[in-house]
Amino acid sequence: MTTTEQVQTKTQFGLPIDESFGKPASEESIQKAAIALRAHNFSVKVVDTPAEARAYVNSILPKNQSILTVSSETVRISGLDEDINRSGKFNVIRPQLEKMDRATQRAEMRRLSASPDVVVGSVHAITENGSLVAASASGSQLGPYASSAGSVILIAGSQKIVPDIDTAMRRVQYYAYPKEDIRAREKYGMPSAVLKVLTMNGDWPGRSTVVLVREAIGY
């Protein structure tokens, strides 16, 4: 299909959106992606529901290391943002950042969030041949994902699985970005943008964990 054929509707702010990218993947695609990710040194846990993903992530999070949750609807909807940042069980960075003044403490905030022991977030696409794609306006989560965090935990619904990188980029442009634009306008009063994109084709063994959820969650 061409991009034009894929675009089905427009958001209330005029951005084209292809809702077909919101459908859960087949079990065949899930297993194909899981096998490929493992071959690229990502640890993979496949679960049925967001609740199971939440329980699993809680079970593997360290209590004695610094943890940063990035801005992610998947992390928020799953309940992990609340579990990690509000339970008092973990050494968390996000609440510290929320107390700081962006106007006067931006440099300190940048340094604090740049190299956590653990970063918890999501991605916008996963290819069947084992690549992860994350897009961002600020790029703040991309450095920790790529190298500066000690370990990475990524939660993603199976609707993010696509055949290849070209389709991954279409998913970013015609699904994840319009959805995030709606959220940004409603929450911050300003549009979003795809300014930076990270593709992860592999990692050091034991560093990154991908929790694949059969149900759709996030965007």
Question: Does 65 fall in a domain?
Answer: yes
Give which of 77, 100, 166, 180 is closest to 128, Cα–Cα. 166
d(CA 213, CA 53): 7
Kindly list the distances between the CA atom of residue 13 and the CA atoms of 142, 179, 196, in Å, as whole numbers in the listed order. 27, 10, 22
**Contact, 145 vs 134, CB < 8 A?**
yes
- The structure tokens listed for 53 are 């993903």
Maximum Cα–Cα distance for the chain, whole Å? 51
Domain count, the chain: 1
Question: Does 219 fall in a domain?
Answer: no
User: Domain span at residue 151?
Assistant: 3-213
Which pLDDT score is estimated for 8?
A: 77
Question: Does 218 fall in a domain?
Answer: no
Give which of 135, 132, 122 is closest to 193, Cα–Cα. 135
Task: Return the sign of the alpha-carbon dihedral for residues 52, 129, 4, 174.
Answer: positive
Question: Does 107 fall in a domain?
Answer: yes
**Contact, 144 vs 115, CB < 8 A?**
yes
Q: Which amino acid would we find at residue 52?
A: E
pTM, to two decimals = 0.94
Question: Does 36 fall in a domain?
Answer: yes
Q: Which tens digit of pLDDT belongs to each residue from 190-216?
A: 999 999 999 999 999 999 999 999 999
Which pLDDT score is estimated for 169?
A: 98
Give which of 180, 118, 172 is closest to 145, Cα–Cα. 118
Question: Does 64 fall in a domain?
Answer: yes
Which pLDDT score is estimated for 1?
A: 35
Instruction: Give me the residues of the chain with pLDDT under 70, please.
Output: 1-7
**Contact, 155 vs 213, CB < 8 A?**
yes
Question: Does 47 fall in a domain?
Answer: yes
d(CA 192, CA 42): 29
Question: Does 87 fall in a domain?
Answer: yes
d(CA 5, CA 206): 41
CATH code of the domain in which 182 resides: 3.40.50.10420
Which pLDDT score is estimated for 102?
A: 86
CA–centroid distance for 182 within its chain: 17
Task: Return the sign of the alpha-carbon dihedral for residues 211, 215, 217, 219.
Answer: positive
- The structure tokens listed for 156 are 């993603």
